[in-house]
Amino acid sequence: MSERLARHSEVSKMARQPRPRLTLDIADIPTYAIGDIHGRYDLLVKAEQAILRDAARLPGRKLIVTLGDYIDRGPESAQVINHLIEPPPDGFDRICLAGNHEIAMLDYVEGWLSYDDWMRMGSAELLKSYGLDPEHLPLVFPSGAQLDAFLRQSLPHTHIDFMRAMPIMLDTPHVVFVHAGIDPMLPLAAQTEEDLVLIRHRFLQSRIPLPKLVVHGHTPNDEPEVRARRLNLDTRAFRSGRLTVARLWQGQVHLFST
C-alpha cells in the first residue's frame, strides 16, 4: 500500500461505522464460498449455475457466501452488484461479505479517498459499467470538486446502501469466512476491520496455528491455496477467467471453478 493510501486508511477507518460480524452454525448447511469476482458477471452466473447443479443432490437449504471484491478491474461491476442485490436462487440463502474494493468505493463516496487514488484500484472499469466515461469526465468537470459531486450523485444509491450494509466476517464453529484473512496474534473478537479486508503477510506467512479454517480471498493466485487451516479462493477471475468456488459440508471441502 502506498504512503498516501496508508494515510487514507488511517483516516477513513476512524470515520467508518463498524460493520456487522455474523455468527452462524453451518454444520447441517451445505455452504458454497465464492472467491473475488471483480466485475466478472459472466463468471458469477456460471458459478451459480455450477452450484445449483452440485447442490441438487444435497438436502435442505444451502448457503452461498461471497468473499468480497465484487467490483473494479473486470468489465461488469454494476451488473455483479445488481445480481447480488436480487434474491438468491430458490432454496439458498446468501451472505455477501465486504472486500477492500467495496470499502474503497464507499470511502470515495464519503470523501475520504481521492478520485485519483480510487482510479488506481481499477475503478475506471467500474465507472464504465455504470455508463460513465472516466477519461472524458475530467475534461467536462475540470474542478475536482465538481467531478466528485457528479460521480457521487450518479452512482446508484441502492448499490451504495447495499455495500454499506455488507458484513465483514461470518464466524461459524469450525470455519471463519473473511475477505483477506485474520491477524493470527489476536482472537477473532479482537480483529480489526482493516486486517479483515487488507491483511496479507502477517496472515499468510505466520507460523502461529490458526484457531479454525479461514476461508478468504484478496491475495490472487493461479490456483486456489488449500492449507490445513487456510483456504484462499482468489484465482484472478478478472484476468484469468477462472472464478473458484468451495463447497464446505460435513467437514469436507470440494473445489470447482467456472
The pLDDT tens digits for 204-227 are 999 999 999 999 999 999 999 999
Percent over 70 (pLDDT), the chain: 94
Cell numbers representing residue 53 in the block = 447443479
Query: pLDDT, tens digit, for every residue of 248-258?
Result: 999 999 999 98
Average of pLDDT values for 171-177?
98
Residue 12, pLDDT score: 52
Query: pLDDT, tens digit, for every residue of 7-54?
Result: 555 555 556 789 999 999 999 999 999 999 999 999 999 999 999 999
Model pTM score: 0.94
60: pLDDT strictly greater than 60: yes
74: pLDDT strictly greater than 80: yes
Query: pLDDT, tens digit, for every residue of 125-170?
Result: 999 999 999 999 999 998 999 999 999 999 999 999 999 999 999 9
Residue 142, pLDDT score: 87
Beta strands in the chain (DSSP E): 21-23, 31-34, 62-66, 92-96, 169-171, 175-177, 213-216, 225-226, 230-232, 244-249, 252-257
Q: With both helix axes pointing from N to C terminus, report the angle between 144-154 and 100-110 in degrees, rounded to the nearest 10.
A: 120
Residue 155, pLDDT score: 97
Q: CB–CB of 215/172 below 8 Å?
A: no
Q: What is the DSSP string of 126-169?
A: HHHHTT--TTTHHHH--SHHHHHHHHHHHS-HHHHHHHHT--SE
What does the alpha-carbon distance between residue 16 and residue 9 come to, in Å, rounded to a whole number?
A: 10
Cell 461470518, located at residue: 170
Residue 10, pLDDT score: 56
What does the alpha-carbon distance between residue 73 and residue 214 come to, in Å, rounded to a whole number?
A: 25
Residue 1, pLDDT score: 46
Q: How confident is the model at residue 4 (pLDDT cuts 50, 70, 90)?
A: low
Q: CB–CB of 37/74 below 8 Å?
A: yes
Residue 258, pLDDT score: 86
Q: CB–CB of 246/215 below 8 Å?
A: yes
